[in-house]
Amino acid sequence: MKKRRKLGRGVAVVGAGMSKFGMFKDRDSKDLFAEAFNEMIASVDKGVDTGDIDALYLGNFSNDFFMHQSHWGPIISDLIGLTPKPATRTEGACASSAIAFREGIFAIASGFYDIVLVGGVEEMSKRTTEEVAEGLALATVPYEGKAGFTFPGVFGAIATAYFSKYGATREHLMNVTIKSHNNAPLNPKGQFKLSIRDLMNAKVESAKKKGKPVPEWEDEKAFLDDPAANPAVAWPMHLYDCCPISDGASCMLLVGEEIAKNFTDDPIYVVGMGQGSGRGLHACDDLTFFEATRYAAEEAYGMSGLKPEDIQFAEVHDCFSIAEILHMEDLGFFKPGEGYKAVEAGLTRLDGEKPINTSGGLKCKGHPVGATGISQLYEVYTQLRGKAGKRQIPIKDLRIGGAHNLGGTGGTCTFTILERR
């Protein structure tokens, strides 16, 4: 019987910011974090003095590899004028900043600090695609790398196991991609802004302009099934099953629950959180779920007293299309083997009964790995406060949302539940 975990002191989010995500030639990690930080400061309804922030927890996976610069805690702390206050870097591969968020919570819940800045940053696009792939592969399990597995390869293998067990096909993965891309034009901070339909039209127009043969596709699935438009990366993962290489930063301001109203009349409360760790592919008896996600979910549901059906919407870690399906099942939103049917039925669309990845997900918003966890929480925070603009979820009384973050090949998984009261 697992212990039901509780925070020693409640914690609320009172501000959030994120930079635009994308590939930026002329902007570095500091520029991107400054953009996120300035938005966060401006978002605190009643204002906050930077000098009152007690500490920084910063998620960063591998700027050491990507930028040949390590030790980002104090660099970012100095950027925003926080030194000599403590700055701590957290690393959990693609879940690095979800862990920074948790450390910030623990620091406040313990009573040691009252006001904590948590954030994440990653700068990847200044390396070649091959170098980025090599950098990301540092987060696989050693045996996977030696067998030739890349990250898309790991998720490709997981997809074949899922297909084999439940009868899903590539076409079902396309539904995930089309759904994510439909949300993309609605997120001004995202890396990709076009729906698949818009992309097809753009390619037709471009071919006409250049006097090249004009491609014809019957529908979006025909486009995604065309190897010229959507080549295989690691079968069955194709280009449009994979998230892009991105730069970006995100941050949030956390405070003790009893002082939250000093900052805003509309704080968002942290009601559930969990973190699990997992083994590599070879050590899993069943490759169609992530043990670490299930553990994190159980912990978060246990802490909050909530059930999967209480989570009105969520951001889930869709580094690859198949991952979105598995994680929705692991979080209990749909039964094992039912996730792909839910996507097909439209349940996870922005106007569906359980909207998933309204931000466009990692697929379209982008995935600057160390910034991703808090950017997911940023989306949940923004939706709960009714400030998501064109992508605002059309559910009345939006109160509870979740964010799920995965690192490595399931090595680190987190689930966090936020509530508006």
Q: What does the binding site for another protein look like in residue numbers (CB under 8 A)?
A: 129-130, 133-134, 137, 141-150, 152-154, 156-161, 163-164, 231-237, 280-285, 287
Beta-carbon contacts of residue 271 (< 8 Å; ≥ 6 apart): 303, 304, 306, 400, 417, 418, 419
Beta-carbon contacts of residue 212 (< 8 Å; ≥ 6 apart): none
CB of 242 to another protein, least distance (A): 10
CB of 224 to another protein, least distance (A): 16
Return the number of the residue (164 or 201) whose C-beta is nearest another protein: 164
CB of 189 to another protein, least distance (A): 28
Omega within 30 of 0 (cis) for the link into 142 = no
CB of 147 to another protein, least distance (A): 4
Return the number of the residue (123 or 144) whose C-beta is nearest another protein: 144
CB of 233 to another protein, least distance (A): 6
- At 101 the three-state DSSP class reads helix
Asked if 400 contacts 417 with a C-beta cutoff of 8 angstroms, the reply is: yes
Return the number of the residue (10 or 280) whose C-beta is nearest another protein: 280
C-alpha distances (whole Å) from 305 to each of 257, 338, 416 are 18, 24, 13
Return the number of the residue (55 or 325) whose C-beta is nearest another protein: 325
Helical H segments across 92-150, by residue range? 96-109, 129-137, 142-146
Asked if 156 contacts 234 with a C-beta cutoff of 8 angstroms, the reply is: yes
Tokens 């409360």 found at: 269
- Verify whether residue 94 is a known catalytic residue: yes
Beta-carbon contacts of residue 104 (< 8 Å; ≥ 6 apart): 11, 55, 57, 116, 117, 118, 252, 254
Tell me how far apart the alpha carbons of residues 395 and 104 are, in angstroms, rounded to a whole number: 30
Active-site choice (172, 181, 317, 367): 367
Tell me how far apart the alpha carbons of residues 249 and 177 are, in angstroms, rounded to a whole number: 24
125, 129, 135, 141 alpha-carbon torsion, rounded to 10°: 140
- Verify whether residue 317 is a known catalytic residue: no
CB of 230 to another protein, least distance (A): 12
Active-site annotation, residues: 94, 367
